[in-house]
Homo-oligomer: A and B are copies of this chain.
Amino acid sequence: MKLASLREGRDGRLVVVSDDLAWYADAAHLCPTLQAALDDWDRVAPMLELLATDLRNEAIPRARFHEHDAAAPLPRAYQWADGSAYVNHVALVRQARGAELPESYWQDPLLYQGGSDSFLGPRDAIALADEGWDADFEAEVVVVTGDVPQGTTRDDALGLIRLVGLTNDVSLRGLIAGEVAKGFGFFQSKPASSFSPVFVTPQSLGDWWQDGRLDRRLMVERNGEPFGRAEAGVDMTFDFGALIAHAARTRRLGAGTIIGSGTVSNRDADGGPGRPIAEGGLGYSCIAEQRAVETLRGGAATTPFLRRGDTVRIWAEDDRHHTLFGAIEQVVE
């Protein structure tokens, strides 16, 4: 089952989308918004599944689904907690600036609390007031949870994942160092994230959902050129069950909590695919990693951060090159 929110009011209008993303059926008569569906999932989800079946069978009125009509599936959420599950990402960026990576990063998941009050839709522009902030994209996988009790284990957490999708976690690299140095984490350095047009149930991903990981490549283009093809199912040190359990260690999580994987990143070491695309590697899911590799190899980064007019495209696809979640396509303004 694939769900989206058409632009309407602050919370969108819930629709069920066909597997090929060509059609949708209105679901607002069952449940007005995706948040309301998540609030009452056990009752609402079976009705939405029936609607999806009817849509598949062309048994109900349907309309063309256009990704540019979609808001973020949750246009605002009560929680957005973003992990750093691909530890290679952190290791690489730190290595480039000569900073140590504490050994604990490999044993203990890291999450930051993100702003969730107003997300960007998949086609919304990135409003960058100052190019000097060094804006970057970060292509990630996300899951949406049901209610998670305090102290939930990793295994139990896997069963509380309702939906899977993608995000572009926009980061202002120029503001990060100053904020991190103050010890309170990110705030100004993390403007609104955007999300894929649809979120899908883990069940509908079949074998591509494995042990709390999305076993697909995360496709990233900058200005129409390939930038990243990272394997999301590889090098994810902590799966989503582990991330959720970490988040719920000292408090419960409300239904509709979005948990992010952190920037998807493959290792170069031991023959891994984490090398530049120009060298036959799988590239990177953010500019900072590419710049880190440039710095480590040549002493200086040459790839610029995002500039006004740049475009970013992020998606994942099936074996026939159809997108699974639709595509995030943003221009920097």
Determine chain A's interface SS by DSSP, over half rule: loop
CB-defined contacts of A246 to chain B, threshold 8 Å: 188
CB-defined contacts of A251 to chain B, threshold 8 Å: 115, 118, 191-192
Contact A188 B113, beta carbon cutoff 8 Å: no
Contact A188 B250, beta carbon cutoff 8 Å: yes
How many angstroms from the CA of A150 to the CA of B188 in the assembled complex? 11
Q: State the Cβ distance, A131 to closest chain B Cβ, in Å.
A: 13
Interface size in chain A (residues, C-beta < 8 A): 49
Contact A117 B253, beta carbon cutoff 8 Å: yes
- Is A137 in contact with chain B by the CB < 8 A criterion? no
Contact B250 A172, beta carbon cutoff 8 Å: yes
Q: State the Cβ distance, A25 to closest chain B Cβ, in Å.
A: 26
Residue interface mask A55-86, B partner, CB < 8 A = 1? 00000000000000000000011110100100
- Is A254 in contact with chain B by the CB < 8 A criterion? yes
- Is A226 in contact with chain B by the CB < 8 A criterion? no
Residue interface mask A244-264, B partner, CB < 8 A = 1? 001101111110110000000
Q: Scan residues 183-206 of chain A and give those whose CB is less than 8 A from a CB of chain B.
A: 183-189, 191-192
CB-defined contacts of A150 to chain B, threshold 8 Å: 127, 129
23 A-B pairs whose Cβ atoms sit less than 8 Å apart in the complex: A10-B254, A76-B254, A78-B117, A79-B115, A79-B116, A102-B182, A112-B113, A112-B187, A113-B113, A113-B185, A115-B251, A116-B116, A118-B251, A118-B252, A127-B150, A129-B150, A175-B250, A180-B183, A184-B186, A185-B185, A188-B249, A188-B250, A189-B250
Q: Hey, which bits of chain A sit against chain B, CB under 8 A?
A: 10, 39, 76-79, 81, 84, 102, 104-105, 110-118, 127, 129, 133, 150-151, 172, 175, 180-189, 191-192, 246-247, 249-254, 256-257
